Amino acid sequence: MYSKTDKLIHENKIKKAIRKINNKALVVVYRKEEKHVIIITAYTTSKIARYFSST
């Protein structure tokens, strides 16, 4: 089962899935290789404006 993301950023072969959780953002950095998804790192940040700016 997959959880929905609020934002998805593509940077070359690397992807960032971002989801707002209360006053923080959960960022999961991953890449796809054939049939597998490889998670590089996952972290929370309070710098929500970096990912969800109004402009």
Domain annotation covers residue 55: no
* 6-27 pLDDT per residue, tens: 999 999 999 999 999 989 999 9
In which residue are the tokens 């290789």 written? 33
Q: Give the count of domains, the chain.
A: 1
- Is residue 37 one of the residues assigned to a domain? yes
Pick from 13, 46, 2: which is nearest to 27 by CA? Answer: 46
- Does residue 33 lie within any of the structural domains? yes
CA nearest to 49, candidates 15, 25, 16: 25
Give a yes or no: residue 2 inside a domain: no
Where in the sequence is the domain holding 28, given as residue range(s)?
Answer: 7-48
Residue 26 burial (CB count, 10 A): 16
Angle at 32 between CA 26 and CA 33, to 5 degrees: 150
Coil/strand/helix, residue 27: strand
Average pLDDT in the chain: 89
Does residue 42 sit within a domain? yes
